[in-house]
Each structure stands twice: as structure tokens, then as C-alpha cells.
Amino acid sequence: MEKQFIKPSTLPGFMELLPADQIIFNNIMDTIRNNYEKSGFVPMDTPIIEKTEILLAKGGQETDKQIYRFTKGSNDISLRFDLTVPFARYSAQHMSELTFPFRRYQIGKVFRGERNQKGRYREFYQCDIDIINNGELSIINDAEIPSIIYSIFTEIGLKDFKIRINNRKILNGFFNSLGISNNVEILRIIDKVDKIGMEAICKELLELGLNENAVNKIRDFIGIGGTNEEILKALENLNIDDEIFKIGVDELSKVVYYIGCFGVPDKNYTIDLKIARGLEYYTGTVYETMLDDYPNVGSICSGGRYADLAGYYTNQKLEGVGISIGLTRLFSQLRELGIIKENPSSSLTKVLVIPMGETMDYSVKTVKKLRECGIVSEVYLENTKFNKKLSYANKLGIPFTIIIGEEEVNSGILTLKDMNTGEQFKVSVEEAISKIKA
């Protein structure tokens, strides 16, 4: 009877990369991590599985439908669908052991059983930073967060991106001044303006029951443009007599000022009164980040200020500000658009040591020296034809080979080959090391 094989495959909506892409993916993740750490954020790692009652404490969300939920023994458990809820739980649970303000980052996989569609993943990495305080948190923190995002995207090689900033208090204060109360619904509608256009959202606002006058005022308001200074000036000139509105304008002007102090160039951040963010949870500053040349990609990094991180788990008010990069989707989009180029190499190895004849010990000892000098290297250990060994280096895109025959063992002079140019050099191990490092 013929042996039956199980077809090797992954579930739809789960990203899996070949080595060339995985290397780039990890480089980006390292860039994110290094920048988070450089700014004094500590790493956090929480379980992927949590009690369902913890994860769904808020309830009534889209997440309820999407969550991976199951029973093990007598436990009702689920896979985390974001890193914010676990962070809230962690902060409440360990509050007495933490020092505030508390700056943490977390990079990890989250799970959402979304409808299967292009560009949507059911398992994806989020890379979050937050700063929280046990009580009030200075508004200047809201300026630091975008400066870190700026460093990351610049280091990744993106140049033409814009961090768009708004403040919920400005929007809410403005709605108050119009005598409108159903703010959350209005925010959700406004949030769609880039996708569906101004006419469509005005129509939705009318359908919501707003009168024509109010809708026109909202249209004019979110259409305010210009430099950051011009927009702030325009907001002042509206002379809106609402306390919340005034606080919002004051916060936003401080945020914009300090973002400059943190070194973000003017071209990479802008006030945008259209940014609303759908989530109820934000109470002040909100961020989105757009690629100038690819508006269809949508926001590649979003977040904001919140007044009560862990209200479902503790009566201590934890005020904070944070932002999240959805790395899996970002990578797949940048890769598809060609903004991230194909990796010509499927290996991290800088040099392949190729033994010829009976020189295996010497080759192994040579690779040991290379590794001790921090050079990523390997020996070709299989007993096969020379051409096959060379072709291994070529296929993987390894830039150098060191060929070790019996002559090389006797003389101590190795043959170093630059695989890109084809040039060969007769060198000592030490010379080879400096050449490879250079």
C-alpha cells in the first residue's frame, strides 16, 4: 500500500516567510526594538493565552466576534487580540511593583479570526510602546512618542511619511459648542473621510440627524489646513468658548512644539483635524501615520492618549499615551509595493569556508577563529564536488568564500574569494578577517 502523506500547508491568513524575507522582517523588528529601547522603554512579555473574562472585560466590541476562544479543562480561555488589554491587566496586577511613570514596549503576536481577505492577517505582530502614570501624565509625553516613530521609519528607509496629529478634546469641545452630544458616532464617521470622501461623510452626518448648518460647520472645521502654526492660529480665531476645546488647543500646541524639540523635521508631522480614531478609549492626542505617496495603504502606525488604561481591573486611574505598529501588515504592504526591495541573500553568512581534500580539521578551526572575531561564517561540511560547494554560496548569496586545500594548510595562506567580483586573494586568516569586515 502506498504511504499517505498529509499535505504540508498553513491556515489561510497566517503569514510565513522564506529565509530571504524573514531576514528583512527581523531587521525591521530589530530596528523597532532598538529605537524603543534607546528611549528607555523596558521590554514586556505577557502570555498569548489569557482568561477570556480578562480579554473581553470591555465587551460589545468587534473583537468579541473575532477572538480565538476555547475551553481547556474547566477554563474559558482566549488568545490575545491586541497588546493593550494584556498591558492594562499587567499594570493593574503588578501596580505595587512598578515604578511610575512606567515606560514599556511589547512586540508580539496577536490573533484575530477576521474574515479572510487580502492584506488582513489572523496572526500578526504588534509593536507597542506606552508611557503610563499612576495619576496625571505630562502632555510632553505625547510629543516624545511620535519622535520615536520618526526615528524608526527613517531608519527603515521610509522618508516620505507624515505623522498626523489631532486632539479629541478639540473635536469634542467643538461639537459641544455646536450643541451636539452623540460625539462617538460623529468621530467614527469623520474618521472615514480619507476613505470615502467629504461628501459621503456629510451625507452620513445628516443621516445621523445633524442639521445642515452643523454639518457645514463640521465640514469647514475638519477642512482647516495650512502649516501647524496656521492651523493653531485658525483654531484660536474661531473664538470658541468651550473649556474642553481650549484645553485641547493648548495641549495640541504643546505637543507640536515639543515634537520639534525632539528633532522631528517639519515635513514629517502635521496637525490634521480630520484624524479622529474610532476607539472610544482615546481622550486627547491621537496619531496616524501615512505614506505620502501611498495614501491607500492607510495608517501604518496609530495611537493616542487615554485617561484610564485599566479601569476594568482597578480603581486606580492610569493615564497614558501609546502607539502601535502593525508589523505584519506593514511588512507585507511595503514588500508588495517594492518599497522594501527583494533580499538578494537567503543567508546571514558572510563567508563560507570550503575544505578541499583532507583539510576538514583546519577548516573547522578556521571557522572557529572567524566566529570568535564576530564574523558570521560556516564550513561546508558535506563531502561533495567543489562546484556544488561554490554553488551553495552562490544560491544563498554568501559574499565571500575561503578555499582551504592542502597547500593552504601547509602555507597558512588562504584563498579568499569575493563572490560578487570573482576576485581571489591569497591572504592570512587575519588579513581575510579585515577584508571581510571592510
Minimum distance from CB of 302 to a second copy (Å)? Answer: 22
For a second copy, the binding residues in 174-193 under the rule CB under 8 A are none
413: left (phi over 0), alpha (psi -120 to 50) or beta: beta
Minimum distance from CB of 111 to a second copy (Å)? Answer: 7
Nearest partner of 242 among 166, 184, 180, judged by Cα: 180
Q: Is 32 in the site for a second copy (CB under 8 A)?
A: no
- The nearer residue to a second copy, 302 or 343, going by C-beta atoms, is 343
Query: Please, is 388 exposed, middle or buried when counting C-beta atoms within 10 Å of its C-beta (0-12, 13-18, 19+)?
Result: exposed
Stretch that binds a second copy, among 38-46, 183-191, 287-295, 421-429 (CB under 8 A): 38-46
Stretch that binds a second copy, among 104-112, 171-179, 334-342, 419-427 (CB under 8 A): 104-112
Among positions 63, 64, 98, 247, the unique one binding a second copy when judged by CB under 8 A: 98
Q: How many residues bind a second copy (CB under 8 A)?
A: 99
Among positions 195, 381, 426, 430, the unique one binding a second copy when judged by CB under 8 A: 381
Q: Is 365 in the site for a second copy (CB under 8 A)?
A: yes
Minimum distance from CB of 114 to a second copy (Å)? Answer: 11
* Collapsed DSSP state (helix, strand, coil) of residue 167: strand
Sketch the per residue contact string, 112 through 151, with a second copy: x for CB under 8 A, - otherwise: -x--------xx---------x--xxx-xx--x--x---x
Minimum distance from CB of 215 to a second copy (Å)? Answer: 37
Among positions 81, 87, 90, 153, the unique one binding a second copy when judged by CB under 8 A: 90
Minimum distance from CB of 165 to a second copy (Å)? Answer: 17
Among positions 374, 406, 424, 430, the unique one binding a second copy when judged by CB under 8 A: 374
As beta bridge partners, residue 351 has: 377, 400
Q: Is 406 in the site for a second copy (CB under 8 A)?
A: no
- Residue 378: φ, ψ to 5°: -150, 160
Q: How far apart are CA 132 and CA 95, in angstroms?
A: 11
Q: Is 377 in the site for a second copy (CB under 8 A)?
A: yes
Q: Is 31 in the site for a second copy (CB under 8 A)?
A: no
DSSP 33-84: HHHHHHTTPEE----SEEEHHHHTSS-SSHHHHH--EEEETTEEEEE-S-SH
Q: Is 70 in the site for a second copy (CB under 8 A)?
A: yes
Nearest partner of 68 among 11, 6, 16, judged by Cα: 11
Q: Is 404 in the site for a second copy (CB under 8 A)?
A: no
Q: Is 65 in the site for a second copy (CB under 8 A)?
A: no
Q: How far apart are CA 213 and CA 65, in angstroms?
A: 38
Minimum distance from CB of 379 to a second copy (Å)? Answer: 8
Q: How far apart are CA 307 and CA 374, in angstroms?
A: 47
Q: How far apart are CA 18 and CA 308, in angstroms?
A: 42
Q: Which helix (H) or strand (E) holds 289?
A: strand 282-291
Q: Is 437 in the site for a second copy (CB under 8 A)?
A: no
- DSSP-derived secondary structure letter, 109: E
As beta bridge partners, residue 107 has: 127
Residues in the chain, total: 438
Kindly give, in sequence order, each residue whose CB lies less than 8 Å from that of residue 389, ignoring residues fewer than 6 positions away: 352, 354, 380, 382
Q: Is 50 in the site for a second copy (CB under 8 A)?
A: yes
For a second copy, the binding residues in 252-311 under the rule CB under 8 A are 258, 261-263, 310
Q: Is 18 in the site for a second copy (CB under 8 A)?
A: yes
Q: How far apart are CA 247 and CA 245, in angstroms?
A: 6
- The nearer residue to a second copy, 27 or 299, going by C-beta atoms, is 27
DSSP 132-152: EEEB---TTHHHHHHHHHHHH
- The nearer residue to a second copy, 133 or 176, going by C-beta atoms, is 133
Sketch the per residue contact string, 204 through 243, with a second copy: x for CB under 8 A, - otherwise: ----------------------------------------
